[in-house]
């Protein structure tokens, strides 16, 4: 299993790296070529609302069944991704969704027991949003037993300086 923690600075930050998502895609692609499962987590600074994290290619099934990397029925059993963040698309949304779609990775937030309501993870500038994600290969999807967005004092104690909530993911690996 390949685990990576990602921080994508806001698009207007002086620390922004325009090639960050291309670099992540290239590195994760190399790991996938070796047969490894992928788990990415962190602050992607991508607000995606209800946008799909996959390409729905089921309509190709009749014409090109051998081209579906996940098989014909994976999207039929993929749980709906619930959404409590009603804000529009912002930040690195296109790059983040392209990364998920091109690598066949799926967002766990809002799909796994414990986070069915897709809790917001960032409370800043007078609002709330979901920008911190857990993203995984299909092979890890079935191993995820719970995902929890914790309230900050659970881990940080009183006086927590972060405007992001910690996430925890439990996996039951074979």
Q: Where are the domains of the chain?
A: 2-171
Q: How confident is the model at residue 100 (pLDDT cuts 50, 70, 90)?
A: very high
Q: Stretch 69-88: mean pLDDT, rounded? A: 66
Is residue 119 within 8 A of residue 145, CB to CB? The reply is: no
Looking at residue 156, its pLDDT comes to 54
State residue 91's pLDDT score.
86
- pLDDT recorded at residue 60: 52
pLDDT in the model for residue 98: 93
pLDDT confidence bin for 88, thresholds 50/70/90: confident
* Model pTM score: 0.82
Tell me what pLDDT residue 113 has: 85
Q: Does the structure show a pLDDT above 60 at 84?
A: yes
DSSP 110: T
What mean pLDDT do residues 25-46 have? 91
Average pLDDT, integer, range 5-17: 92
Cα 56 to chain centroid, rounded: 17
pLDDT reported for residue 38:
94
The rounded percent of the chain whose pLDDT value lies above 70 is 78
Per-residue confidence (pLDDT) for residue 81, from 0 to 100:
77
Give pLDDT tens digits for 111-169: 888 876 667 777 777 777 777 888 999 888 889 999 888 776 555 555 566 777 888 89
Pairing state of beta strands 46-47 and 90-91? Answer: antiparallel
């Amino acid at each position: 299993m390949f685990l990576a923690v990602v921080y994508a600075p806001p698009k207007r930050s002086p620390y922004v790296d325009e090639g960050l998502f291309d670099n992540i895609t290239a590195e994760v692609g190399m790991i996938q070529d070796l047969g490894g499962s992928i788990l990415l987590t962190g602050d992607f600074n991508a607000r995606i609302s209800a946008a799909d994290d996959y390409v729905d290619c089921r309509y190709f099934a009749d014409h090109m069944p051998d081209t579906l990397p996940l098989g014909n029925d994976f999207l039929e059993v993929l749980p709906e991704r619930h959404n409590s963040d009603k804000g529009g698309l912002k930040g690195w949304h296109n790059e983040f969704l392209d990364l998920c779609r091109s690598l066949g990775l799926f967002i766990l937030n809002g799909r796994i027991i414990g986070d069915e309501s897709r809790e917001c993870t960032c409370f800043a500038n007078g609002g709330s949003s979901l920008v911190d994600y857990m993203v995984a290969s299909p092979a890890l999807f079935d191993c995820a037993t719970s995902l929890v967005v914790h309230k900050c004092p659970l881990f940080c104690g009183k006086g927590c300086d972060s405007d992001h909530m910690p996430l925890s993911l439990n996996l039951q690996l074979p």
